[in-house]
Copies of this chain bind each other. A is one copy, B any other.
Amino acid sequence: MYDPLATKKEQEEIEQAKDIVIQAITETMDIYGAAPSVGRLYATMYFVDKPITLDEMKDMLEMSKPSMSTGVRALQENGMVNRIWEKGSRKNKYSAEKDFFKSFISFYCKRWEREYKENLQAISESLAVLKTIIDDETCDEAMREEARQYYNQIEDSKRYYHWLERLVDSFYSHEIFQFIPKDKE
């Protein structure tokens, strides 16, 4: 048998090693718009290999169950946590997505999609209004020129949104990894 005191010391060192990473993930989770406690929830779950219940989360973070419920839902919506079906258990179980590539794609593509969809929709409506003014030859020329200027600026921005669309596609299709490989060659 090993020295129980040394064993305890090393157990603490493992916890410490884990905590260093948990702390860093928690810190950088603000990039993903997560409140600190939600960041900590994800970081904590990242080191739990089996799916866990809301009650286990609440015990780990020493927080309330509703907080875990809303927190885990937020993470789920970002694709950072998955719900796992476990036979025999009627409790919902969740596990952290350990593949950061997946989380990245899920998180950013969702936002980028919203960005280009909402803006392209607005652009289409806006350009239609401006076009009627530009095409109206009875209209004041200075005003038509102003309309043309806005028209061109807005029209030009479509270039970015369509690029964003292709960027999203390349992530969803994983084609991006042909250009920027997961492993450095």
Q: Cα distance A122–B43 when bound, in Å?
A: 13
State whether B163 touches A182 (Cβ < 8 A): yes
- Whether A56 is near chain B, meaning CB under 8 Å from some CB there, is no
**Could you say how many copies of this chain the assembly holds?**
2
Quick one: which of B21, B123, B163 contacts A126, CB cutoff 8 A? B21
CB-nearest residue of chain B to A98: B153
Which of the residues B28, B31, B139, B176 comes within 8 Å of A2, measured between beta carbons? B139
Select A114's contact among B28, B132, B146, B161, beta carbons within 8 Å: B28
Q: Which partner residue on chain B sits nearest A151 by CB separation? A: B17
Partner of A150, one of B7, B18, B138, B167: B18
Which residue of the partner chain, among B27, B104, B167, B182, contacts A180 with CB atoms under 8 Å? B167
Q: Which residues of B sit under 8 angstroms from A101, Cβ to Cβ? A: 160, 163
A10 contact from B2, B25, B31, B139, Cβ within 8 A: B139
A118 within 8 A of B: yes
Contacts known (A21-B122, A129-B16, A160-B101); A31 close to B115, Cβ less than 8 A: yes
Chain A interfacial positions (CB closer than 8 Å to B)? 2, 6-7, 10-11, 13-14, 16-18, 20-21, 23-25, 27-28, 31, 33, 47, 49, 98, 100-101, 104, 111-112, 114-115, 118-119, 121-123, 125-127, 129-130, 132-133, 136, 138-140, 143, 146-147, 149-150, 153-154, 157, 159-164, 166-167, 170, 176, 178-184
